[in-house]
Amino acid sequence: MLAPPQKDKDFPYWLVILIGVGAWFFYLVWASDLYAQVMSTVSRGIGITIFVTLVGFTLASALGLLLAMASLSRFVVARQMARLYIEIIRGVPIIVLLLYVAFAGAPAVIAGWNWLTGPMGFDPLRTRDFSLLWRAVIALTIAYSAFIAEVFRAGLQAVEPGQIEAAKALGLRPWARFRHVVFPQAFRMILPPLGNDFVAMVKDSSLVSVLGVADVTQLGKVTAAGNFRYFETYNVVALIYLTMTITLSLLLRRLEKKLRDRQEQ
């Protein structure tokens, strides 16, 4: 038999343990020349990791919202095309999609562009002109847009039909109904899974290292290959990712609590 739910939350012992372990490793970074050197090198990739995550997630959210709206459209062609895109992208591993976009999709797009613009006198583009960083961002955008689309779709469908009917009775146009009635209510339900996807993208951004993009993981690989201190190097890499993901998770929980409290008032 399940225990009755407790009104008060459990004390976060797990967080105390993580803070203690993290404090110990940060002490090592401060006290040990080896850890300090590794941290100095690897931390240069934090900016790239944050850039890939923020830009990729923003673009994926925008594309995911469009896909969700298309999947709920009254037009059957839009619904079927959105569903086809979502099912194909969700069925391909992210690393495979990353390699496909970088080494098959990007050259194909550049070749098509040169074919179209060649007769107009434009200088042809070269594949190397398309940076690997942006290929990685595009691949993550495509990959996550399919998952985020399902989050948006579920949230939009969870809005009470009576709310939409009331908005129609007030004479609101479709865009006004979506902006002022549907989306604000759906957002409160969308936020937790959307936050989880954001934290997941922070971790999955490490996949861009397979393209040689100088993020935290790539610099960790290069550092470990040079000093042969794999244990210390990957301790630092893991510490950086854990610091980012746990901090984000705590901030998202606080935001969810504020929204829930505001809704109950």
- What ranges in the chain are assigned the alpha helix state H? 13-31, 33-42, 46-71, 76-90, 94-100, 106-117, 132-157, 161-169, 174-177, 183-204, 216-227, 230-264
Structurally, the chain folds into a number of domains equal to 1
Residue 36 lies in a domain: no
Report whether pLDDT(26) > 60.
yes
What torsion, rounded to 10 degrees, do the Cα atoms 37, 40, 45, 46 define? Answer: 130
Q: Which residue has the higher pLDDT, 128 or 75?
A: 75
CATH assignment at residue 89: 1.10.3720.10
Question: Does residue 120 belong to any structural domain of this protein?
Answer: yes
Distance separating alpha carbons of residues 185 and 182, to the nearest angstrom? 6
| pLDDT score of 1 more than 80 | no
Residue written as token pair 């999709």: 105
Is 0.85 topped by the overall pTM? yes
CB-based contact 149:67 (threshold 8 Å): yes
Residue 146 lies in a domain: yes
Identify whether 15 is part of a domain: no
The token pair at 131 is 């940076």
Q: Where in the sequence is the domain holding 103, given as residue range(s)?
A: 47-210
Residue showing tokens 């961002």: 137
Residue 9 lies in a domain: no
Asked if the structure places residue 217 within a domain, the reply is no
Which of 36, 38, 50 shows the shortest CA–CA distance to 219? Answer: 38
CB atoms within 10 A of CB 134: 14
Answer whether residue 25 is part of any domain. no
**Per-residue pLDDT tens for 127-173?**
788 889 999 999 999 999 999 999 999 888 888 877 777 777 777 77
How many whole angstroms separate alpha carbon 76 and alpha carbon 111? 33
Residue 55 inside a domain? The answer is yes
